[in-house]
Amino acid sequence: MNAMNPVTADNGVNVAALLGAREALEQAPQAARFDWRASCQWVRGTHTRTQVGDFFGLGGEQQRKASFTFETDHPEVFAAEDQGATPVEMVLAGLGGCLVAGVASVAQMRGIQLRSVTARIEGSMDIRGILGMDGSVRNGFDDVRVTFDIDADASRADIEALVAQSQKRSAVFDILANPVNVSVQVR
């Protein structure tokens, strides 16, 4: 296969740990269930502050060393104060984060040394959907495009294979490309 240099390539991904996890989960598949959480608070206007910290996985509650905070808002053209990223840009960040991390992991697994990876992520939408002006227009993206620039010790075909495999194993790619049930309630 592509295992050219599994020992010397170092993209900072701990492949042994990932493979070990796969083996352990083979024995205890119930530990593979994860619940991810975020807690979002309204600040004012369209400005919100979201915290992520603990999550559930590997059979128990998991704490992190620190929690992370994200601000979202809308740009001034939406008559907002632009205190943070637009929520849809957060989605693009999620997709980029997932695919780029995937490229690094797959490259490590295949022994490909990366020098630089840049992904440009674009999502297009027709805002007549969210403004409720036309029921036939969807609210969300109608097209999402990702363009990679990768510098690595590998052929073009091997680099394309990295990118393809990263999509195949990406959670966020799947979340965007396939439907999921979403339930929202008020306590």
**Footprint of another protein (CB under 8 A):** 1, 29, 142-144, 157, 160-161, 164-165, 167-168, 173-174, 176-179
Pair 2, 100: CB distance under 8 Å: no
Q: Which is nearer to another protein, 104 or 146 (CB)?
A: 146
Minimum Å gap between C-beta 85 and another protein is 23
Check if the beta carbon of residue 159 is closer than 8 Å to that of residue 113: no
CB atoms within 10 A of CB 172: 19
Residue 18 CB, nearest approach to another protein (Å): 14
The secondary structure of residue 127, as a DSSP letter, is T
Least distance from C-beta 178 to another protein, angstroms?
5
Q: Are 32 and 8 in contact (CB under 8 A)?
A: no
Measuring CA to CA, which residue among 1, 14, 8, 2 is closest to residue 113? 8
Nearer to another protein, 35 or 142 (CB): 142
Taking the least distance from each CB to another protein, the nearer of 84 and 91 is 91
d(CA 24, CA 164): 27
In angstroms, the CA 131 to CA 89 distance is: 18
Number of neighbouring beta carbons within 10 Å of residue 175: 14
- For another protein, the closer CB: 53 or 97: 97
Q: What is the dihedral of CA 170, 113, 10, 53, to 10 degrees?
A: -30
CB of 165 to another protein, least distance (A): 8
Q: Kindly tell me which of 18 and 177 has the beta carbon lying closer to another protein.
A: 177
Rounded least distance, CB 143 to another protein, Å:
7
Nearer to another protein, 8 or 178 (CB): 178
Residue 79: CB minimum distance to another protein, A: 31
* Helix or strand run (H / E) with residue 133: none
